[in-house]
Amino acid sequence: MNEQDIPIDIHLNKLLDWLISRRICPRDWQKNILTVRQNINNAIQDMPAVDEIANLLAGTYINYFHCQRIVELLRETESSSKNIFGQYSSKRMKDWLEIVKLYEKENIYLAEAAQLLVRNIVYELPSLKKQLVKLKQIQEESSKKESDYAKNENNMRENYALSCQQMDIEGKNVKKEVFSLLDELPGALNTIAVSSKDLSFIRNYYLEFLNFTLKKDMDSNCLPVLKHIIEKGNTTTFEWRTGEPPEVVEMTTPVLPLDMDCGSTEATDDQIDFGDFVANSESGDDRSSNSPNGDFVHVDRDECKPDNGVQIDFGDGDINWDISVETSGIIELQTPEEQEGGKVARGTDALSVLENEATRNSFYNDLLELETFLEQRVLETESSENDVLSSTFFHEAPPVLQMQSIESLREMLSSVKTISSQLMTTKLKHLYLIKSSPRYVDRLVDSLKSKLETAERMVECQKAVKVKFHEAMDEQRSLEPKIELIVGKTKVLLSQVEKDISKRYKNRPVNIMGGMSALQQIIVH
Q: What is the band of 60 on the pLDDT scale with cuts at 50, 70, 90?
A: low
pLDDT of res. 518: 81
pLDDT of res. 1: 59
Q: What is the band of 466 on the pLDDT scale with cuts at 50, 70, 90?
A: very high
pLDDT of res. 139: 95
Amino acid of residue 394? F
Burial of 113 (0-12, 13-18, 19+ CB in 10 A): buried
CA angle 508, 513, 516 (to 5 degrees): 100
pLDDT at residue 455 is higher than 80: yes
Computed over every residue of the chain, the mean pLDDT equals 78
d(CA 342, CA 300): 10
pLDDT at residue 36 is higher than 60: yes
pLDDT of res. 524: 57
pLDDT at residue 327 is higher than 50: no
Percent of the chain at pLDDT exceeding 90:
37
Q: What is the band of 380 on the pLDDT scale with cuts at 50, 70, 90?
A: confident
Give me the mean pLDDT over the 82-95 stretch: 66
d(CA 430, CA 424): 10
370 close to 223: Cβ distance less than 8 angstroms:
yes
pLDDT of res. 394: 58
- Find which of 55-69, 227-241, 313-327 is predicted with most confidence, using mean pLDDT: 227-241
Please give the model's pTM, rounded to 2 decimal places: 0.58
- pLDDT tens for 497-520 read 999 999 999 889 999 998 888 887
- pLDDT tens for 419-450 read 999 999 888 888 888 887 778 888 888 988 99
- pLDDT tens for 187-201 read 989 999 999 999 999
User: 184-205 as b/e, with b when 16 or more CB fall inside 10 Å?
Assistant: ebeebbeebbeebeebeebbeb
pLDDT at residue 159 is higher than 80: yes
Pairing of strands 510-513, 248-250: unpaired
Give me the mean pLDDT over the 389-400 stretch: 63
210-to-215, 226, 403 alpha-carbon distances in Å: 8, 16, 16
Burial of 5 (0-12, 13-18, 19+ CB in 10 A): exposed
Burial of 264 (0-12, 13-18, 19+ CB in 10 A): middle
CA angle 19, 21, 26 (to 5 degrees): 65
Q: At what angle do helices 426-436 and 440-504 cross, to 10 degrees?
A: 120
pLDDT at residue 239 is higher than 50: yes
Nearest CA to 55 out of 39, 69, 45 is that of 69
CA angle 305, 308, 312 (to 5 degrees): 130
pLDDT at residue 333 is higher than 90: no
pLDDT at residue 147 is higher than 90: yes
The single-letter DSSP state of residue 333 is P
Using DSSP's 3-state secondary structure scheme, residue 521 falls into helix
Phi/psi for 354 (5° steps) reads -85, -15
Using DSSP's 3-state secondary structure scheme, residue 272 falls into coil
